[in-house]
Structure 1
Amino acid sequence: MRPASATHVALGSMSDVPDHLYRDPMVINRSAEATTPYAALLRPLDDVPAPPENLAEALGDGSAPPPPQKGMTWKREPWARRLSVVPDVDDLLASLPGQVDRATVLESVRKSEAADRTDLAFVATMIWGYGSSGYGPYRTARVLTGGSDAVDPTVLERLRSAARTARTQGALSGFYAMRNLPGRVSYLGPAFFTKWLYFTTATAGPDSDDAAPVLDMRVRDWIATNAGVQLRLDKTWAYHQYLQLLDAWAVRPAGTLSRATVERVIFSLS
């Protein structure tokens, strides 16, 4: 097991990752995450605490991924009513089960992206993100339309651009792109745009090594309570610290898990 003392963290090295969504091969260079034009803004953690005991137990020894996260329940009718401005949304909603897990949504996002339907891919992502929350359909429609009566094509291009950035330059670059102009999308904050980045970068499945991990209030609050690390949702430097935590905690006695695996286990524990 990992020692109880703090552990220094280094960013991962470059690795080649297959791209199941797009025809061109993808290369993720994690070392580039700290050498971008915004590198001067980062505040790396000098030391990272050992994983909390309950997290270490849930992660296991690293020889195999932990059990999948449970699915999210959702109600089809509010989504159909609020998202009627999205062409073919009824077909998308009909294709999803009443309880959606990461694997199900990831497959839906892949199909929509392959058909150049960023709008449908985003809706599927938000269904998982909001679950049974009653305000999810309204907020999703507001993001896609910018508050107008039709889907805004500039919003779709920003979503596509951020996904491309995260796939080719890494999770941190994707976060920065979505948090700042010109890539920022109105009404879409980090808690939910990291969900978009996750589903558009997890090219090898829910536990994909290249997946940009979700950072929302649920995960942030769990880390603050159990690890004593205070993270902000709205700062690139804080997301960088979050990646450092995940990279350190992913190292297990019998193997190294992905960032996404650690994140989903934290999500389940919260």
Structure 2
Amino acid sequence: MNDLIPPPNDLNPEEDGHPQRPSSWNPQAWFRQLPDHREFLEQLPNPISREGVTDFFGEAHVDASTAVHAFLASMVWGYGPVGYGAYRTKRVLGLNLDAGERLRRVVAVARDDGPIPAFRVIARNRLTYLGPAFGTKFLYFATRANRAAHGDRTAPVLDQVVRRWFLLHADVRLDGTWSVANYERYVGLLEHWGDELGISSDHVEEIVFERQVARNSGRTTPPQSPTGVEDDAGDGDPLEALRVVIAQKRARLDEATEHLDALAEILGSS
């Protein structure tokens, strides 16, 4: 039973002086991979915060194109500066011809019925190459935008970083699948701990994520962007792995080119 597990000592919110910082991202990498969406991507702030992403989910239940834009915002936030994020996002949208409508449906269920029913919908109608780690990022913002209608409940992110923390600090093994029972257990624990600590369940998840990231990197403060990126695609395909590496190299080249252009401008004006 979830209510038999007290909040681990590591969750003391009074010790949490570093809320998650906004995600920095590389616009050029996203423009190149998703040229049809450049006009929308240019509207995204850089860096982009959780609050900034949520703003794009208010009307995402209305039509497929708005849902795709909301999805893009959540993926930009989730991948941050990771070079292959734009490629993987393009792959999800490109290999699922009805991706926009399926994403819209998830947001509509999140709006009307709440977190767990929305998870059930995305789990049963999975998009190719969208695993739980990034699928729950999209789902989180869909529920966050409608939390007032569902007693402040959300569907928090469940990725590798969070699962690692649960194993180490709560002795709870959560799998990285679309299991509804697994996710219900996770949400139940977060909500129980949030009630005990006087904070929301997604605030609990944010503390969990930042504490584990800080430990993984040896930092005493969290990084500027989410770094819990894992292989969410389940490729198992050497050719796909090579494509991911190439996408990452191209993103780094774009970034280097921007720096060189800026340096050339400085030298030219001196």
TM-score, normalised to structure 2, is: 0.69
The yes-or-no answer on 1:223 pairing with 2:171 is no
Taking a change above 3 Å as real, the CA distance of residues 199 and 51 of structure 1, as seen in their structure-2 partners, is: same
The yes-or-no answer on 1:185 pairing with 2:136 is no
CA-to-partner distance for each residue in 1:140-167, whole Å, 9 max, x for gaps? 00111117xxxx3x11111111122223
Counterpart-to-counterpart distance in 1, 2:4 and 2:81: 35
Determine helix, strand or coil for the equivalent of 1:72.
Answer: coil
Q: What is the identity percentage for the equivalent residue pairs of Structure 1 and Structure 2?
A: 36
Partner of 2:111: 167
The yes-or-no answer on 1:131 pairing with 2:80 is yes
Runs of 5+ unmatched residues, structure 2? 213-270
Output the amino acid matched with 2:34: L
The yes-or-no answer on 1:251 pairing with 2:199 is no
The yes-or-no answer on 1:103 pairing with 2:51 is yes
Partner of 1:90: 38
Task: Kindly indicate which of the two structures has a greater share of residues assigned to helix.
Answer: 2
Alpha carbons 1:190, 1:216 under 8 Å: kept: yes
| Residue 77 (structure 1) shift | 0.5
Task: Kindly indicate which of the two structures has a greater share of residues assigned to strand.
Answer: 1
| Residue 54 (structure 1) shift | 2.2
Output the amino acid matched with 2:74: T
Output the amino acid matched with 1:202: R
Counterpart-to-counterpart distance in 2, 1:167 and 1:51: 29
Counterpart-to-counterpart distance in 1, 2:107 and 2:206: 20
CA-to-partner distance for each residue in 1:74-130, whole Å, 9 max, x for gaps? 11111000011x3xx223222223211101111233366667522211111100011
Output the amino acid matched with 2:94: T
Alpha carbons 2:7, 2:196 under 8 Å: kept: no
Output the amino acid matched with 1:246: L
What is the aligned length?
208
1:265 corresponds to which of 189, 207, 211: 207
Taking a change above 3 Å as real, the CA distance of residues 146 and 227 of structure 1, as seen in their structure-2 partners, is: same
Runs of 5+ unmatched residues, structure 1? 1-44, 61-65
The yes-or-no answer on 1:240 pairing with 2:184 is yes
The yes-or-no answer on 1:80 pairing with 2:23 is no
Partner of 1:117: 66
Alpha carbons 1:209, 1:260 under 8 Å: kept: no
| Residue 191 (structure 1) shift | 0.8
Q: RMSD across aligned C-alpha pairs, in angstroms?
A: 2.5
